[in-house]
Amino acid sequence: MGDFQAAPQVDLAKPFCKWVGQAERIDLIPRYIATAVRHSISGRPGPVYLDLPGDVIASSLEEDDLSYPQRVEAPPAPQVDPASIKAAVAALKSARQPLAIIGKGAAWAGAEEQVRRFIEETQMPFLPSPMGKGVVPDGHPLSVAAARSYALQNADLVFTIGARLNWIMHFGLPPRFREDLRVVQLDVAAEEIGSSVPSEAPLVGDAKVVMAQMVAELEESPWQIAADNPWRQALDKEKAAKQEATVPMLESDEVPMNYYRPLQEIQQLLPHDAIIVTEGASTMDISRQVLDNYEPRKRLDAGTWGTMGVGPGFAIAAQVANPDKRVIALEGDAAFGFDGLEVEVAVRHKLPITWIVFNNNGIGGGPSSLPEGASYPPNAFVPNARYDKVMEAFGGKGYHAETPQELRAALQASFDSGETTLINVTINPESKRRPQQFAWLTRG
């Protein structure tokens, strides 16, 4: 029985949380910042919190009284001992229906070259996690993203490469996984080993270094899953079926539009090195299926905890850090409501981000018109809001698209303009994604 409570999960917030009071010498602030950075990038990377209160920020000192610590170097990358590598490879070879799950740990470690070589050497089918997309390009023939449910349910062994079997991966438990599932787990944090399902061959270390060890081992004794292996054949068949079932939605000319067709338009116009920020429920989930990532670290979404309101900040930071890359912020209308006025910051700083709001009149889809009576559903928004006007309010460019053709034209105009823009895309409130075999949190 799968159950949300079946697996004890632990909040691994980074332990560095510091309040700097006036009592602490302000000449030490550079060192506190260095410590904060060190904690942020070491071990499992993540946010840290350093609180500099008003009186500290407003105080001053002579430049000469200030000394700067050395630049915080990238943390050393631990590798695993050779015996563990051999054990992991042996386990993988013994599996009949192995599946690699590639997570954001592989992305943050910069392990893309090593992971791609591993996948290609072994010809092992793989599934990326939402933020692990692009470590191996999404269009890769061994990707089974389109056959996700089938792959998870039938794999007899999963090799998690910087990915966690948390709620996004249904805790690795039945009915979404086999009862007798075996796990080979690569994680930078020893605490994670076996946290939900026991791991028979744990690899604790940096994904880049450890995957290089794996590839070296494979070079010494090569091993590959044949193309005519029944497992690969079955996956390919399922993939083809699922992709075929999606085609009508991707090509639909219906107006108002469903979710798939506009994503298809975006996909066709986006450069391969674009950075895709996305948040919202359906918008985020379906775009994960349709929008391909060709490079790692190019997709930023609500993450493990599903936090809403992060999109504008992510997009602004991504564009500032990557002035030459195309950045899009793809948001559901509910998600945009959390922090949408931050588009002003992008206009102010002349950041050519393209916001795309998938507007279906509410959370999960609202009404087509305002009812007269009192029974207004709590998830509904005012129908036909025009988020493009929010962008225009601040001097950015706004577009409104109700048809695939209008969307294509708006995208092209936005990309050509070099300005901050927002495209309000009317989505059919009745639009649903493909029927799902299981509810998200698998209470069955």
CB of 114 to a second copy, least distance (A): 13
- The answer to whether residue 389 forms part of the interface with a second copy (CB under 8 A) is yes
Beta bridge mates, 257: 427
- Rounded distance, CA 217 to CA 184, Å? 16
CB of 79 to a second copy, least distance (A): 5
Query: Cβ neighbours of residue 183 under 8 Å, at least 6 residues apart?
Result: 157, 158, 160, 165, 172, 194, 197, 198, 199, 200
Question: Residue 146 or residue 169: which is nearer to a second copy going by CB?
Answer: 169
Determine the distance from the C-alpha atom of residue 305 to the mean position of all C-alpha atoms in its chain, rounded to a whole number: 11
- The answer to whether residue 102 forms part of the interface with a second copy (CB under 8 A) is no
Determine the distance from the C-alpha atom of residue 294 to the mean position of all C-alpha atoms in its chain, rounded to a whole number: 13
- Rounded distance, CA 35 to CA 45, Å? 13
Question: Which residues ranging from 294 to 323 are in contact with a second copy (CB under 8 A)?
Answer: none
- The answer to whether residue 90 forms part of the interface with a second copy (CB under 8 A) is no
- The answer to whether residue 388 forms part of the interface with a second copy (CB under 8 A) is yes
- The answer to whether residue 58 forms part of the interface with a second copy (CB under 8 A) is no
CB of 139 to a second copy, least distance (A): 33
Tell me the three state secondary structure of residue 354: strand
Contact segment (CB under 8 A) with a second copy among 67-75, 176-184, 287-295, 404-412 equals: 67-75
CB of 83 to a second copy, least distance (A): 10
- The answer to whether residue 394 forms part of the interface with a second copy (CB under 8 A) is yes
Q: Which residue in the block uniquely carries the two structure tokens 């309101």?
A: 309
Query: Cβ neighbours of residue 68 under 8 Å, at least 6 residues apart?
Result: 30
Contact segment (CB under 8 A) with a second copy among 74-82, 121-129, 238-246, 283-291 equals: 74-82
Can you tell me which of 47, 57, 78, 307 binds a second copy, judged by CB under 8 A? 78
- Rounded distance, CA 319 to CA 201, Å? 40
| Residue 303, Cβ density class (10 Å: 0-12 exposed, 13-18 middle, ≥19 buried) | middle
Q: Closest Cα to residue 138, out of 114, 111, 102?
A: 102
- Give me the helices (H) in 155-278, please: 207-220, 230-251, 260-269
Contact segment (CB under 8 A) with a second copy among 13-21, 228-236, 241-249, 271-279 equals: 13-21
Contact segment (CB under 8 A) with a second copy among 71-79, 105-113, 141-149, 153-161 equals: 71-79
Can you tell me which of 63, 64, 65, 73 binds a second copy, judged by CB under 8 A? 73
Can you tell me which of 174, 175, 194, 364 binds a second copy, judged by CB under 8 A? 194
Residues 326-365: x/- map of binding to a second copy (CB under 8 A)?
----------xx--xx--x--xxxx---------------
CB of 78 to a second copy, least distance (A): 3
Can you tell me which of 8, 222, 373, 418 binds a second copy, judged by CB under 8 A? 8
Determine the distance from the C-alpha atom of residue 25 to the mean position of all C-alpha atoms in its chain, rounded to a whole number: 40
Can you tell me which of 387, 397, 401, 421 binds a second copy, judged by CB under 8 A? 387
Residues 16-55: x/- map of binding to a second copy (CB under 8 A)?
x-x--xxxxx--x--xx--x--xx--xx-----------x
CB of 236 to a second copy, least distance (A): 35
- Rounded distance, CA 19 to CA 393, Å? 38
For 263, the enclosing helix (H) or strand (E) is helix 260-269
Rounded alpha-carbon distances, angstroms, from residue 44 to 48, 101, 106, 190, 204 = 12, 18, 11, 10, 11
Tell me the three state secondary structure of residue 145: helix
Residue 21 DSSP label: -
Phi-psi region of 192 (alpha: psi -120 to 50; beta: other; left: phi over 0): alpha
Can you tell me which of 123, 153, 229, 384 binds a second copy, judged by CB under 8 A? 384
- Rounded distance, CA 375 to CA 359, Å? 22
Question: Residue 120 or residue 200: which is nearer to a second copy going by CB?
Answer: 200
Contact segment (CB under 8 A) with a second copy among 10-18, 109-117, 130-138, 260-268 equals: 10-18
- Rounded distance, CA 330 to CA 337, Å? 13
Question: Residue 191 or residue 430: which is nearer to a second copy going by CB?
Answer: 191
Can you tell me which of 105, 130, 205, 404 binds a second copy, judged by CB under 8 A? 205
Question: Which residues ranging from 173 to 192 are in contact with a second copy (CB under 8 A)?
Answer: 189-191
DSSP letters, 275-292, are: EEEEESSHHHHHHHHHS-
Site size toward a second copy (CB under 8 A) is 74
Can you tell me which of 47, 139, 141, 198 binds a second copy, judged by CB under 8 A? 198
